[in-house]
Amino acid sequence: MLPPRSDLARDLAEWLPRQRWFGGKDGPIDELSIGTATELRAGDPSLHHLVLDVRQNRVTDRYQLLLGVRRHLPDRLRHVEIGDAARGPAARPYDAAHDPDLTRTLLDALADEASIGPLRFRHVPGARIRTDLASLPITAEQSNTSLLFGDAYICKLFRRLSHGVNLDLEVNLALTRQGCDRIPAVHGWIEMEPDGPGAEPVTLGLLSDYLHTGADGWSLAIASVRDWFAYPLPPGDEWAELDASGAGGDFAAEAERLGAATAQVHRALADAFGVTIVPAEDVRAMAARMNDELTATCRAVPGLAPHAKALTGAFLDLAARAAPLPVQRVHGDYHLGQVLRTESGWALLDFEGEPARAESERRALAHPLRDVAGMLRSFEYAARFLITKAGTVPTESGPHLETRAHAWAARNRAAFCRGYAAAGGADPAAHSVLMHAFEFEKAVYEVRYEARNRPAWLPVPLKSLAHLTA
């Protein structure tokens, strides 16, 4: 049984800002109310699905929460309790995403294609969903929560709800139907009935294959950088000719294979959703938006200002050479943390787009080289990540470490582009104006994001820009 709504809403307003996945940490909660409360399982413990309406700065966002209620909370769940047990009722509410006794309810409902209140549980035709698996939350995620069910499934719960069908479901389901083997196959999803006539169902969760042999690209790349930083260096003035291939953990072959896998997914996206040609005036408008973002970010982050002239030049160059451009569905937030290296090759994850952008921007079509630029930026990040972590690299002067980082990034950027072009993607070298604009646009986004969320990481995009704008 749920605690009184007024008490629960008060406790949630205190609890919510402390969660990693809450997107409104830059301001206070003006009002929190419980929009819907659906009982998924009765008894002790009970399971309830809540949609929270959270108003901040005159904007209301919706978050979903699986709420468990127990009379006696075991020690293993104390860290996710909501509210103060000393002042609360006998019923103890908590975040049930951490309770395998309750999350199995989701598998049961997906297997049965159940409808419970406003919630609908769906599975892909022909899919047989196992219901005998216990869950384990993956704590590394920030904007969402994923539950690992045994070694079979990942259930991704979208914490901040978008209007209508979530991009991640829409794209992954289309690629699954295409038979694309570069993504985890979709088995089912959870949705909420539309808000009104003509509206789409709201996506709540996505159940897909768990690639249990996978290692994420970021971890593999960081291991390669660490090996390169430990590699003995030539004496004297030979720094300028550093060749990062000498280290034992060279990543370039994997970067090239990742480029090929990226091109394959882009072709599958084109087949599934089609390709549109936008006129030159749309390209000029895109360049103007890039420059507007630069201007606003320079005001907010003065450290970007020394690079503004070079960045503006790239955007003006794109506008001056604008021509009709093919656009399509792309990944939208492509980086090394969004890919897994499995025993059968690279797989791509999380097609939701950049979290700091508006939903309309995340849904916008783009040229595939925008994803390529995102991955090139990720190589710049991987190359410099260890420099920002004290005590993780040999004690050397800053310029030498930066030279090493630049050499590693340059080698792997080139390998990725080579693999992408060889597999049929647009050759980045033949589209240098577009590539410069996309990469600088991404760098501006990174600077704004890091300044707001991870100030300690701000030197990473700024230092890489010093090389790219030289």
Whole-angstrom Cα distance, residue 45 to residue 80?
Answer: 15
pLDDT at 195: 77
The amino acid sitting at 97 is A
The amino acid sitting at 350 is D
Cβ neighbourhood burial of 136 (10 Å; 0-12, 13-18, 19+): middle
pLDDT at 244: 83
Question: Structure pTM?
Answer: 0.88
Whole-angstrom Cα distance, residue 110 to residue 191?
Answer: 11
Whole-angstrom Cα distance, residue 98 to residue 75?
Answer: 12
pLDDT at 397: 46
299 φ/ψ angles, rounded to the nearest 5 degrees: -65, -40
pLDDT at 2: 84
For β-strands 145-149 and 153-157, DSSP reports them as antiparallel
DSSP string, 104-170: HHHHHHHHHT-EETTEEEEE-TT--------EEEETT-SSSEEEEETTTEEEEE-SBPPSSS-HHHH
Asked whether 129 and 207 are in contact (CB, 8 A), the reply is yes
Give pLDDT tens digits for 164-211: 899 999 999 999 999 999 999 999 999 999 877 888 999 999 999 999
Regions of the chain where pLDDT drops below 50: 237, 397
Q: Please, how many CA atoms are within 13 Å of residue 382, restricted to the half-sphere of its CB?
A: 31
Cβ neighbourhood burial of 58 (10 Å; 0-12, 13-18, 19+): exposed
Give pLDDT tens digits for 323-335: 999 999 999 999 9
pLDDT at 213: 83
